[in-house]
Structures are given as C-alpha cells and as structure tokens.
Structure 1
Amino acid sequence: MFDQHDVRHMKDGNLNGAVAPGTDPRLWAHTPQHLVEAFLSDAATGLIVDAKGAALAPQAVRDLCKALSTDDIGPGDVVLVKAENTLQGVAAILAVWLRGATVCPVDPAASAEVVTLIGREIHARALIETDGRIMPLDTSARHGTEWQRHGYATGDDLGMVIFTSGSSGRPKGVMLSNTNIMTALRSIAAYLDMSARDRVLCIPPMFLDYGVYQVLFTLFSRSGLVLGTGIRNPITILELIKTYQPTIIPVVPALASGLTRILNTFSQQLSGVRLVCNTGGHLAPATVQSLRRAFPGVAVVPMYGLTETKRALFLPAELVDSHEGSVGGPMPGLDARVVVTAADGALLEAEDGQEGELYLRGSSVMQGYHAADAGAGARIVEGRYRDDVWLATGDLFVRDADGCLYFRGRSKALVKQRGYCLYPRDIEAVAEAHPQVRSAVMIGRTEPDGDESAVLFIVPETAADPDGVRAAVLHALPVTLQPRFVHFLPEWPPSPVGKIDLNALHTIAKDLN
C-alpha cells in the first residue's frame, strides 16, 4: 500500500523518501535535501573542518533545522544566509536545505541596505545571521495557494538563488532549481573523480556558487573539506596546505598567481595535491607551469563557468600544453555552440576560427533571473518545449579544428581604440607569451573625446626588465592593436571574492598619462 508519509518532508528533519535496503542515498538524491539527510545519517565527523581544526557538528545542523521548522519554513520558502566560510555558515546552509527550502547566500560584509533590498526582491521569509540567529523577514511571503504548498522538495523547486549584483542598482538573482544543482554537481564530481579519498581546500567565499559547491561536493562524494575562513594571504594559505594536505585546490587566477609566486620564490614543492581547478578568469601559461613546479604531479584543469549554469567548459589536463589558452569543451550533460548572427538575423553555428557568442544547453542552465529587468546578463532563448532552452552567455569564443573553445572576452569588454576592436584575450595572450610576463589583463578607459584607450596591465616575473618587456610586447603587435598604455604591477589587486579586482584596475587606469 502506498504511504504518502514515506515521501513527505518530515518536520523534525528526519530522512524522507523510501530507500531500497543497502543503497547509497546519494545515488538517487534529486535535491540537496537528500544529500544533507544522507550526510547526517552517516554520523560522519571530521569531514568539514575550519582552519583551526574544529569540525562541523551534525547536531548544529539539526538544531538550526528545528528552529526553522518552528517558524514553519519549508519547501517554497527562501531564506537569506550570511554565508561566511565558517562552520556556522555551512551549518546554516545545510539547515535550510534540510528543511527543503531555498538558500540565498549573501555577502556577510554587505550593507544592511543591500541585504534588505535582496530580501525584499526575493520575498525571503528569514535571514540567518553569521552567529546563527534567525531573523524573521516577510512572514506573509507564501508562494501559491495553500494546496500548492507542498510538503517535500522536488527537483523542480528552487534550491538556490544567487545574486550576482546588488551593490548598485537593482539586484539580479540567478534562480537555480534542485535539478540544476544536482545535474551540475554530478557532472563535475564525476569528471574530477572526486571521492572519499579527497580533501578540498575551500578558499572561494561561501556566498558565491564556487564556494557553495565545495560543500555540495563533500556531501555528494564524502570528500573532506577545509574551510579557509576569510583567508586571502598566500603565505597563510600555504601554511594551510602544509597542515591539512588537501588533494584538490579550487582557485581563481589572482589566488593561483599569488600562491605560486610565494612557492617559487622559496623554491618550495608540496606533494599530495592531485588537482588544481580554475574558474573566474584565464590562467596564464606561466601560472600553469608554476603550479606544476610547486605541486609535482598535479593535474591543472582550466575551466569556464558562470553562475547561470555553474562550470560549463573544461580542458582535460593532458591537453593543456597542446591547446594553450583553451578552456576545452562542454561538461558532460551540456551542449556548447559558438553562434553568429547572419545578415538576415538568423542564428548560425560559427565556422572553426570564427568568433561568435557562446550558447549553452542542458539541465544545469538556470531557470532565469529573479529580477527580469535587472539589466545586462545572459539571455535564455526558448525552444520547442519547456526545457528546450539555450543560454546565450554574452561571452565571445572561437572553436579550433579539434573542437576546443577559446575565450575571447565579454562582448561588453571589447575596447574600440581609434576605430579598431581590441579583444582583451588576444592582447593578453601576446603579453603572456613573453618569458618575463607572469600574467596580463587588458581593460578600456574612456577618454574625454569619447574614444577608448586600451590599458594593458602586466604582472612580471621576478627581476623582469619592464622597459624591455613593454618594447617586446608592443613590437609583437600590429600598430593598430597596440594598447595605448602598458602598466606594471607587482601583484594583482584582489577583489573581496579573491578574483582580480577590475574596479581597482580602472581606478589606476584613470591616473595614467
């Protein structure tokens, strides 16, 4: 006899769903809620630790879940979480998922005005503070009529809403269903061959998807997780690596550059790291080589991703040298095409070597933006039926004869200098080919006459000759493509999320003469 209580969400946070005896619930999990339940049922300790070695207590998750149930928060409700890279921050995220509700992680450093704006925009029921306190917000925020309020989460429910902006203007929330999350999770974890033998060092902030997914990997694969709480100093990160010996280190370019500079300066090599994966920007060839020197035997996997579909492209480690600068092809379960617009407005797939916009299709593509008029972003192109959609990313790519894709820049990042279009990645690649250049970034500066000037920033290798590097880089470029300014920096200014701070570069560029 069918018993609906076997599949209903239990208000005390117990396991839901009928599970075949002897099966791993992670295999059939279709929501993060199932993963949290499996994590708690394992009674595993020590899987998630902070930089001081303290471990996440499963009871902390259960206690928060019980507090949320007291406020009748469940599937269909949105909860803001001030998501620090701490045990408390992780417990808050897991508790919301355990209730079957939607997690909306926000920057703990965001102003009260920004948090209020996001909460109002998304009709959040509650806010979990960094100390675990639950603050009621819009208690009337109910979605649908009473009969539509279901008792358990499904793959179609929203699992996360991540705001990609909000410090100015109207915030823009990327809506990700549980199916979106689980599809991306399975695809990435399978390709990276993540398992219980791994330990991940999580430096990316928890209020971005790059950080949250490190927690999901732990739930799914039983890998260990070390939380780098607010740590950006490469020397401190180096000490964490020595202490906890992670096997996987997720990086962004600024972090990778700073870390390898320290390791190579002191001629240090650390064994045990089997994988370094990257997103959030391009890894310069010199940085890839430095990572290999620092971590003998490491596989460096360049990737491309965006919040709207998580990591979308990857280049197998064995192709990094033969396809320098590429981010490879689509993740399993995704389709990727480079698309151009014909004279009659029709969309066509680009030829090899022809530049076009990257389109992505698959079940990890977002449901849409919560604020439909939130400004520029990726676009969903609808097809023949509900899930037949393409994501037009707004990013420019070319495809080579082997099917490998190369990022050329964002369409809005093109610099039009003296009537010529300068593609940042093309200019950066020329600079990074110089042996004394560690990495390069090009931006545009608007002049009083309305023209744009290209500004090339370079972080050189130690003891490089700036004048010689500048002359060599300019000589390697046609006159029409030479940046108007070439400026050297000792290191990249980091943004609050660890990426290269482009706003800081624009500020520097304003004062160049």
Structure 2
Amino acid sequence: MLYSSSFLALNPAESLDNMHVLKQDWNLDRKTAIGVISVNSIDFVNLVFDRFKKGQIVVFLQSETDFHKIQVTGVTEVVRPEAKFGWCDTKFTPQPTSSIAQISFTSGTTGQPKAVLLTHRALNDVVERLNSIMEVDASIREYVGVPTNYSFGLGRCRAVATAGGQFYIPENGFNPLEIREMLRQGSINAISAVPSLWRTLFQCEEIFGNETDGVRWIEIGSQYMSRAEKERLLKLFPKANIVQHYGLTEASRSTFLRIDRTRGEHLESVGKAYGNTDIKMSADGKIMIKGPHVAEMLLVEGQPKNNLDPNGWHTTNDLGWMKDEYVYYLGRADDLINCGGVKVSPDNIEKFIRKTLNIQSGIAVARAKDPIRGEVILVSTLADGGLDRQSVKDAAIQAAAAHNIHSPDAVKLMELDEFPTTATGKVKRKQLTELYSARLESLHAAKQVKREEPLSQTEDDRSLTDCEREIVTVWKNVLNLEQIDADSNFFEMGGDSLTAISVMVKMEKLGIPPQIVKGMLQGLSVRELARRIESTEDKKATSHTITSYYTKTGMNINIVRGLLVLCVIFSHWYAGFANRLPPIVGNIRPYISPILAAGTPGFAIIYGVSAGYSMFSIFQQDRSRLSQLLRSTFIVLAGGIVISALLRLSHEFISGQIQSLTDITNAFYSVLAYYLLITATLPFWFKAIEKSKNPAAKSILISILLYCFYYYFISGISAYEAHGFVELIKLVMTAKYSYFNLTAGTLCGIAIGITLRQNSQKQGIPNSFVWIGCACLAAGFVVCSHAGMSESWFVWPTRKTLLWGWLFYIGWILLGLDAIHKILSGYNQFSASKKFVLQALATVGILAFPLYVTHGMVLPLRQLMVAGGLPSTFSLFISFSLFLGSFAFIFKKIHSTNFTW
C-alpha cells in the first residue's frame, strides 16, 4: 500500500482494561486497535485499507490527544497519515467476516460521542449493495467531492477500489470548474458529493456543456434533497446512473433511490431497502433498520451497549414515513445539526459557548436551514440577557471550528425577548428554527425577532472604482451581505471553500483573467484584486511573487537545472572560444575542470530531482497524465536526435567521411540518447520504488546496486569490438553517457526530489541537506585520493563519471538547493532586476531539453554550411544566430507565461 505516516505509541495500561471489556462481552479477537487520525488524504485511505488487510481494528480519531476515544477503545498506537491528493488506483478486497473492522464515532445529543463498532461483514454488505445498485465496473474514474475522512467519502473510495476502478481526491475540495475541465479531458466519468455541494454546482451549471454526457455514475450523500433538485440533476447529467442513499453511522446506506429510474412523487423520497436490508417505522414515527450492515455494538459514555432490539432492529432518531416501500425522511428527532455533512450536537455547541463566555444561561442553539450547507448553527440570545453580540458570535464561531465547521458564515444569530419552552423549562429548539425561518421570510413576522446587525464596515460605493464595484457586487451576492469592506479579503468577510467556488465562477463570467481569480484564494482584498486586474488591462506587468512552498521549490529546482544547462553549453563550446582568445584563457582550463565536468552528472541528478519532486506524485495519482508528459518530452528528444544526426551525416556525406554502417549509426549517439531512454523507462523505476514505505531510501539502494552492476559488469563490455547497430547499443550501455551509470545518479536525484515533496508541510529544505551535502563532498575527495586519482580533478573532458564524481556532485547539488532556497526566501522583497536574474535562470531550467537539442545543432549546421562552400566564420555566425534567435523567442514566451500576470 502507498502510505507514509507518523506513529505514536501509547501507554496501554488503561486502554487494555477497556479493550478487555469489549473482548469479553463481544468476543473480539485479540488484535491491536490502531488509532488513525482522520484527515482527507490518499494516505488515509490506503492506510485504512492496509490495516483492514492485516486484520487490525481501525479507530478513527480527531488528534493524538483524543484521549477519551483512545481509552474506551483500547488504542495502543496512533497513526497520522500524510496529506496526499490526486489520483489513486488502490484495489480493495472485502473480507466478509464477523470480526470488527473499524470503530467510528458519532455525536449524540449529550455527553461524549458514542463509538460505533462495524464488522467487515457490515462494510462488505454495503459495498455489494451499492455497487450492484449503481451498476459500476472497473472503468469507473470518480471525482470524490467529499473528504475521505467522512464516512461517505471513505465509503466511495472503498466501493470504487472494490470495483477495480480509480478515484480522484481534490486537494482544495469540491470545485465545479475543476470538474468541468476533467470532464472535458475525459479523465473522470463519476462524481460523488453531498446535496450541499450539488447545490453549489447548480449555482454555476451554465458553465457546463455536452461534457456532462460523459458522467456514467453519481452518488448523493445522506442529506435531504428535494424532488426539484433531483430533477435538475437528472437534466444536467442525462446519461448517468444517479443514486441517492439514506443512512447513518450505525447503518450506512440503508436505502437507495435510483433517481434516473424514478419519476413523480417518489423522487421526494430517499429510496427503499435492497438486499437483506429491511425498513419499517416505529409507533412514534421513527425510522427502524434491520440488516447485516447495521452495527450490533456501541460504546456510550464508555460503557458497552447493544445497538439492536431482541428482534435485530435498530431504531434511529430520524422521523419518517413509508409509501409503496419508499422511505420519506422528515427530519431529525434529536435536533442534530447536519452542516454540509458535518453532524454536531446543539448541546455541545451550547456547552462550548457557555464555557467560553463563562455564563450559565441566556443562549439556546438550534439548526437553521441553509441553501448551500443544508443546515447551519443558529445561536439565539435574550434581548435583556446582557450579552455582547460580537462576543457571542466569536464564541459560536470558535465552537463551530472545534467541531470541524470552519466557516464563519455557518453561524447565525437571533435575538429574542424570550425563548419558547416546555412546561418544565426545556427550550423548544424546533420553534427556534421556525422563528428564524419566519424572520427571513417576512420582516412582519419578526415581532419577537430583532434583526441581526451586519458585521462588516460600511463602504461608500462612490469611493470604489468600476472594477472594485464589480467584485464587491459578486461578493455581496454570494455572501448575502449588504456591505463589503474593500480592504478585507474574501475569507475575512465570511467566505469559505464552498462559497469561493461560486465567486470564482462568477468572476470568470465577468472576464476576469483566471490567474487574477486565483489571487482570491491567496487572501487578496477587493482593492488588491482590482489593482491586478487594472494593471493587466493597462498592459503593466504585476510583480511576480512566491506564494507557497511548492512555487518556491519548483523555482529552486529550475534555477539549479538552469545553471547546470549553462555548464553543459559552456563546456561544449569552451574549446572553440578558447582557441579564438588569448592563450591565458586556455591555460585556466585545469582549474575550471570541475565546472566543465559538472554538466553530465549534475544534469542527470537534477533531472532525477525534478522527476522525484513532481513526476513521482503524478505517477501515484494519474499515470495516464504522466504518460502524456513523458510522451511530449520523448518526442522533443527523439526529434533532436534525428535532426542532429541528419545534420552530422549530411556533412560527413558531402565530405566523404562515411565509410560504413557504423559511421551512420554512431551519428545518433549523444547524451540525448540517454535522456530518451530514461524518459521511456522512468515509469519502470517509479514502479520499482512505489510500494516501499520509504521510496526515497529504496531509490538510493537501487542506485547503489545499479552503479555496482555498471562498474563491475557492464563497463567490461566496452573492450569487445562491435559494428553498426550493435556498436550503437554498446555505446549507450558503456560509453560516457552509459544508461546504467547515469541512471544511478538520476535515482539519487529522485530520492532528493521525493524528500523535498514529503517536506512540503515544513515549508523548507530539510536541515539534513546541508550536512549530507558536506559529507558527500568530503567523501568524494577521500575516495578520489584513496583511489590515487587526485589528478582527475584537473582533467577535462572525462571519459565517465566514477563514484567519487557522483559523491562530489550530489553534495554540490544538495548545498546548491539549500543555498538557493535561502536566497528565494527574500524573493518577494527583491528589486525587479534581481527577480529577473532568478527568473531568467529558472526559465533556462524549464527550457533545458530544448536548449540541449538546439545548442547541439549549432556546430553540425555550421560544418554542413562550410562543406557546402560557405565561409567558416559566416557559417558559424548564421548557425549561432539561429540558435540565439530561437532561444530568445521561446524564452520570452516561457518567461511571460510563468512570471508575469
């Protein structure tokens, strides 16, 4: 399995006591209960699947300090998955046994959350029914719009993996713009999301066209969705198998509704039971569920509790009714708030606010309807309660965040003269919800309700530019605010990931450049966004800034690669220039030999760094996309090799130098031949390391073995005589650009790149790079001296890179990456000229292969023109000018794309 996680071993004393109770009462096998921190990540999914396979019980935790859950479930080890996103093709084989697979927690109305114990058989039953109803097959490629650490999201991953398909986890959450592009590319054919996310998509459905015909499967999560909304979804995705389910943590996916096969009033339902599942209503109107997927055991307040009655039925706290076997959901009997799929108890929110404000009464929490999230948190206060309104709002936002609801707009306030209560003084939460709804529907119905004052500062529209006014209008519309502060950013005004999507779509419709729209998610204010737009319209470039670790690291790698490309070009042309300059220039060659020799090994290493940093993650997530990238590089390299060979052969033909087939085949040999081969075989090396828990370490190990194989076996082949194509193959395997030797260096670079990617959360170059780099430099000197090859430092050109050379240049690159990272830390404060120098080097690095190809054509083209009768100096001028002209043209294009707005 692909995962790389951190572990925390716990003192099991108290935990084992509780686990003993579970084993004794429910006959659990003596397996280790593993606590897994719930995070949205591919690593989380793979880790859960792997622990299932090993027969361990997975306990979902919020953090390493979730001590109550750890103690009541007997957890002795906690694992924190890493944040990984994109495509995943992990396969999952269900285990239909009665042993416990996972322990989840669901909120109750009071006290600690209850633990729900689910067996492998229960999970397997859900997947079998779900995949059967949806009619999925191994071709499914799903966009999972709900975080994988939610029951719905993890269930989708489990279903897709069981079917043999692939799923995509978006790094920044559900995004209709991303979905549209992926549909146009044909990279997805399935989507899963909860109703609140589908409502976000409805707000911008006009951006979609015929690409929606490519959607074959859709699953909708367990929240209320109206008949009209389902019919709207049917119209938008006319060729999809659309399934909605109803369920809860204790009984996931208990009913299914095939929306695409249902018409009329039944679309208002949540479907009916399938397989071995049964549904009925209790005497007081609560939904009751029976089946192999229902959890048999719970832990409530740390004490074991049977979840089923003597006849095997589980009674929910959801109200409903049935007609023609279809279940109609009416609401939650226990008043739980389902905010965008996150379920929270109003009692727990109340307790948090009271503790924060140090009060005993004066507030009441209920749910309120919301068009985007389904439900939000409604906090009611008393007019004569003496509570500061802003303090209550701040405390409520903190309480919501503590329960994984991170949008300030998910909290609403309402002020009343008195709370509606029962005869015993209990607040009637349903009436609070009704009062708030009435307040929104009509101001005349709000005699008891005092309107909430806007929190934002007023902004005189007359002081805004036209561009600022357009952005303010969009934000007002989406955030439902009367006033917008032009100096506050989108998130300060109450925006979040859900509403950000709507704003991005509307800004795109206004014709705002996409790169400017991205600035919104970087926290730019209305004025800052408008300035960038206006500067774009005036054709004035906006200064490029580094906004993330990924931007900085990518630029760092490109700068190092650019320096190495310049070293290669300098070394290839040094002799020609030195012969035309005073002798002193040629005499310094021994002292600059390490620089002249740096190009071949250094570029192989930095090629690996780039591959490990960016391409390895793509390989893990979307191999088809990596194939497209490598195919483009392969075509460039192959074209360069052929053109260079034809130029060389044309010259040799005119000058009568071609004597045999070997002369022809050898014309195709150069360093480009190595990069053509490594580009074609890179997926093979990725596959060799992907299954390892530490792919960087395995990459280094393979590198050492590959170098030994080259040094002790392959290099000896060079002594054997060969001709024609066999000679070309021998050159590729044994000569200066030996595939095995250079790949050993490339694999070391891949290890460095993977380490940089894994260090992204720390936002810096690993401290180990400096001391490892120094150690490699020292080791290179020691090995060279011990082998009696000290003079080699002053010799160039070299026939091949030996061990001491690899050690030296690996150290050189590690220290170079660290040094440039430190330089880039002050990049945003640099002057335009300093920025341009770094941008130019990075652009050269981006153009590495085109430069490799075109600079290698300069001399063959010059020789061809000389052989045709043109003067030597004139021929050199023409070929060199063509190289510089083509480079300047493409340099301007690439620089403009990457470093200007």
Both structures adopt the same fold (TM-score exceeding 0.5): yes
Deviation at 1:316, TM superposition (A): 2.5
Deviation at 1:340, TM superposition (A): 0.7
Deviation at 1:497, TM superposition (A): 11
Residue 364 of structure 1 aligns with which residue?
293
Distance 1:195 1:212 in 2: 18
Residue 128 of structure 1 aligns with which residue?
79
What letter matches 2:295 in structure 1? M
Among candidates 255, 264, 275, match of residue 332 of structure 1: 275
Distance 1:491 1:321, change over 3 A: farther
State whether structure 2 residue 113 is matched by structure 1 residue 171. Answer: yes
Residue 20 of structure 1 aligns with which residue?
none
Distance 2:376 2:44 in 1: 36
Is the Cα contact below 8 Å between 1:284 and 1:438 reproduced in 2?
no
Distance 1:438 1:470 in 2: 17
Give CA deviations for 1:134-166 in whole Å, capped at 9, x if unaligned.
Answer: xxxxxxxxxxxxxxxxxxx87121101112249
Q: Secondary structure at the match of 2:60?
A: strand
Deviation at 1:181, TM superposition (A): 1.0
Distance 1:175 1:263 in 2: 40
- Alignment of structure 1 residues 69-468 onto 2, 5 Å: 76-106=31-61, 110-113=62-65, 115-131=66-82, 155-165=97-107, 169-243=111-185, 245-264=187-206, 270-317=212-259, 318-341=261-284, 356-371=285-300, 380-383=307-310, 388-400=311-323, 402-413=324-335, 447=416, 449-451=418-420, 452-455=431-434
Root-mean-square deviation over aligned CA pairs: 4.5
Distance 1:307 1:284, change over 3 A: same
Is the Cα contact below 8 Å between 2:296 and 2:308 reproduced in 1?
no
Is the Cα contact below 8 Å between 1:78 and 1:104 reproduced in 2?
yes
Distance 1:491 1:359, change over 3 A: farther
Deviation at 1:233, TM superposition (A): 3.9
Distance 1:399 1:321 in 2: 15
Distance 2:109 2:281 in 1: 32
Q: More helix per residue: 1 or 2? A: 2
Distance 1:84 1:167 in 2: 25
What letter matches 1:282 in structure 2? Y
List alignment gaps of at least 5 residues for structure 2.
10-28, 84-94, 338-365, 381-415, 421-430, 453-475, 481-493, 500-901
Give CA deviations for 1:100-156 in whole Å, capped at 9, x if unaligned.
Answer: 1012233xxx4543x333222311121112239xxxxxxxxxxxxxxxxxxxx8712
Is the Cα contact below 8 Å between 2:147 and 2:173 reproduced in 1?
no
Q: Secondary structure at the match of 1:302?
A: strand
- Alignment of structure 1 residues 20-31 onto 2, 5 Å: none
TM-score normalised per structure 1: 0.58
Distance 1:303 1:220, change over 3 A: same
Give the percent of matched residue pairs that are identical in Structure 1 and Structure 2.
Answer: 18
Distance 1:118 1:99 in 2: 22
Distance 2:333 2:497 in 1: 24
Distance 2:71 2:160 in 1: 32
Deviation at 1:215, TM superposition (A): 2.4
What letter matches 1:405 in structure 2? V
Residue 348 of structure 1 aligns with which residue?
none
What letter matches 1:99 in structure 2? K
What letter matches 1:453 in structure 2? L
Is the Cα contact below 8 Å between 2:183 and 2:214 reproduced in 1?
no
What letter matches 2:320 in structure 1? F
Distance 1:166 1:93, change over 3 A: farther
TM-score normalised per structure 2: 0.35
Deviation at 1:292, TM superposition (A): 2.7
Distance 1:206 1:285 in 2: 27
Q: More strand per residue: 1 or 2? A: 1
Q: Secondary structure at the match of 1:409?
A: strand
Is the Cα contact below 8 Å between 1:79 and 1:102 reproduced in 2?
yes
Is the Cα contact below 8 Å between 2:190 and 2:215 reproduced in 1?
yes
Distance 1:191 1:232, change over 3 A: closer
Deviation at 1:489, TM superposition (A): 8.5
Deviation at 1:310, TM superposition (A): 0.7
Deviation at 1:360, TM superposition (A): 0.5
Distance 1:265 1:290, change over 3 A: farther
What letter matches 1:118 in structure 2? K
Distance 2:178 2:283 in 1: 46
Distance 1:403 1:195 in 2: 28
Is the Cα contact below 8 Å between 2:193 and 2:219 reproduced in 1?
yes
What letter matches 2:277 in structure 1? L
Distance 2:449 2:303 in 1: 34
Q: Secondary structure at the match of 1:331?
A: coil
Distance 1:441 1:490, change over 3 A: farther
What letter matches 2:307 in structure 1? I
Deviation at 1:203, TM superposition (A): 2.3
Distance 1:129 1:442, change over 3 A: closer
Q: Secondary structure at the match of 1:91?
A: helix
Is the Cα contact below 8 Å between 1:381 and 1:390 reproduced in 2?
yes
Q: Secondary structure at the match of 1:270?
A: helix
Which structure would you say has the larger Rg? 2
Deviation at 1:308, TM superposition (A): 0.5
Q: Secondary structure at the match of 2:159?
A: helix
Distance 1:457 1:245 in 2: 44
Is the Cα contact below 8 Å between 1:443 and 1:455 reproduced in 2?
no
Deviation at 1:187, TM superposition (A): 1.4
Q: Secondary structure at the match of 1:301?
A: strand
Distance 1:259 1:496, change over 3 A: closer
Distance 1:320 1:278, change over 3 A: farther
Give CA deviations for 1:405-435 in whole Å, capped at 9, x if unaligned.
Answer: 11011112399xxxxxxxx99x98xx9xxxx
Distance 2:37 2:47 in 1: 9
Distance 2:318 2:109 in 1: 23
Distance 1:124 1:260, change over 3 A: same
List alignment gaps of at least 5 residues for structure 1.
1-57, 69-73, 133-152, 342-355, 416-423, 432-436, 459-465, 499-513
Is the Cα contact below 8 Å between 1:455 and 1:486 reproduced in 2?
no
What letter matches 1:86 in structure 2? S
Residue 25 of structure 1 aligns with which residue?
none
Deviation at 1:214, TM superposition (A): 1.9
Distance 1:154 1:411, change over 3 A: closer
Deviation at 1:224, TM superposition (A): 1.8
Distance 1:485 1:188 in 2: 47
Is the Cα contact below 8 Å between 1:379 and 1:393 reproduced in 2?
no
Deviation at 1:380, TM superposition (A): 2.8
